[in-house]
Structure 1
Amino acid sequence: MIVADKKREQIIDGAIKRFIHFGIGKTTMNDIAEDLSVSKPSLYYYFPDKKHLIIGVIERVFNDFFELIKKKYNPDLPIEEILFNAIDVRNTFFQKYYMLRITEGIPDLLNDEVIKGKLQTLKQTEKDFFSEIFSRARDKKEIEHDDCAHIAELYLESLMGLSTMCIMETGKDLFPDKKTINKMTMKQKNLTSIFVRGLRCAD
């Protein structure tokens, strides 16, 4: 079982490298099999089609991201510092995996029910985690708000909105440089300070 899992992870590693370099749309299962010197039957044993391989890549990136987010999470820190640390992790992954451009690889990718369901599940996992962060801050009397799930959703969508603006300003065919990433990070942290300040007010 351990050997099988290792082979599966090697395939995902190979897919990530090729997706980043050539793009998802231009990459075939044959390309990945050739890169890794594995037989096509072996590749299809782990991933019956390209869609399931894309899901594997999405899961890998999210799980690595989420593992680091949790590792950096210290509930004893002030809420603002916790959120700042999370932003640093988010933007490290944003920069590292930007060229994957998952949604650009397949035109109808987000219309696929399996992939859409997986993305929604991962998004919910992140929202639940941030809801817990805000709940702990409320328990420590750092903020005042009853619906922590709602504020977690608003907060994450706000961060995503700023990321989208960064991409639009850069141009979708250009890789955001360090200056652009730093500018995005600063805006997200400024937003966080304003967001937390607002939550300190009673409803």
Structure 2
Amino acid sequence: MIVADKKREQIIDGAIKRFIHFGIGKTTMNDIAEDLSVSKPSLYYYFPDKKHLIIGVIERVFHDFFELIKKKYNPDLPLEEILFNTIDVRNTFFQKYYMLRITEGIPDLLNDDVIKGKLQTLKGSEKEFFAEIFSRAKEKREIEHDDTFHVAELYLESLMGLCTMCIMETGKDLFPDKKAFNKMTLKQKNLTTIFVRGLRCAD
């Protein structure tokens, strides 16, 4: 079982490298098998088709993201500082996996119901985690808003909007440079400051 899981993870690693370099659309299962020097039957044993391999990649990226964001989460810190830390983690992953287009929702693949459902589930988990952050802030009387899940949804969608603006300003097929990333991060943190101050007011 451990050996099988290791092989599966190696395939996902190889797929991520290939997807980042050539793009998901231009990568075939044959390409990945050749890169890893594995037989196609072996590859298809773990992933019956490309769609399932893409799902495996999405799950890996989000799993690593959640692990790091939870590790960085210290409920004793002020809310604004907590959110600043999550922005730093989010943007680290935005840079590392930018070419996968996961942060855009992988638009070319959103017509697939299975992949769309997986993304929605994972994004739902992220909203729940941020709702917990806002709920704890409410318990500490840092904010006064009651519907913390709605707050989390608005906050995350606002951050995503700034990511989209960064992509549009840079050009969809170009990789944003350090200046563009820093500009986006600064805007997200400025937004966070305004957002948190607004939450200190009663509904």
- TM above 0.5, one fold? yes
For residues 39-89 of structure 1, give each alpha carbon's deviation from its aligned partner in whole angstroms, at most 9, with x where no partner exists.
100000000000000000001111101100000000000000000000000
How many Å separate the matches in 2 of 1:131 and 1:65?
17
Change (3 A) 1:136 1:62: same
Cα distance per residue 1:88-117 (max 9 Å; x no partner): 000000001001125999875112111111
Which residue number corresponds to residue 192 of structure 2?
Answer: 192
Aligned residue pairs total 203
Do the aligned partners of residues 119 and 135 (structure 1) sit closer, same or farther apart at CA in structure 2, a change above 3 Å counting? same
Contact 2:145 2:202 in 1 (8 A): yes
- CA–CA separation in structure 2 for the residues paired with 1:126 and 1:85: 15
- Asked if the contact 1:84/1:189 (under 8 Å) is kept, the reply is yes
TM-score (norm 2): 0.97
**1:126-150: CA deviation from partner (whole Å, max 9, x where unpaired):** 0000000000000000000110000
What is the SS of the residue equivalent to 2:97? Answer: helix
Paired residues for 1:2-41 under 5 Å:
2-41=2-41
CA 106–73 in structure 1, closer or farther in 2 if over 3 Å, else same? closer
Tell whether the 8 Å contact from 2:100 to 2:106 is kept in structure 1 after alignment: no
Q: Deviations over 1:5-27 (max 9, x none)?
A: 10000000000000111111111
Whether the 8 Å CA contact 1:25–1:105 is kept in 2: the answer is: no
Q: Secondary structure at the match of 1:93?
A: helix
Distance 1:143 1:106 in 2: 34
Does the CA contact (< 8 Å) of 2:104 and 2:164 recur in 1?
no
- Find the residue that maps to 1:111 and give its secondary structure: coil
Contact residue 15 and residue 32 of structure 1 kept, 8 A? yes
- Relative distance call for 1:131 and 1:168 in structure 2 (3 A) is same
SS at match of 1:108: helix
**Contact 1:24–1:105 at 8 Å: present in 2 too?**
no
- With normalisation by structure 1, the TM-score equals 0.97
Q: Distance in 1 between matches of 2:163 and 2:54?
A: 22
- Summarize deviations over 1:146-180 as a string: whole Å, max 9, x none: 10000000000000000000000000111001110
Change (3 A) 1:108 1:167: closer
Post-superposition, which runs of at least 4 consecutive aligned residues in structure 1 deviate over 4 A? 102-108
Cα pair 1:19 1:27 within 8 Å, conserved? yes
Find the aligned partners of 1:198 and 1:160 in 2 and give their Cα distance: 19
Structure 2 residue runs of 5 or longer lacking an equivalent are none
RMSD over aligned Cα atoms? 1.5
Q: Give the whole-Å Cα distance in 2 for the aligned partners of 1:25 and 1:174.
A: 16
State percent identity of aligned pairs.
91
1:46/1:161 CA distance change after superposition, 3 Å: same
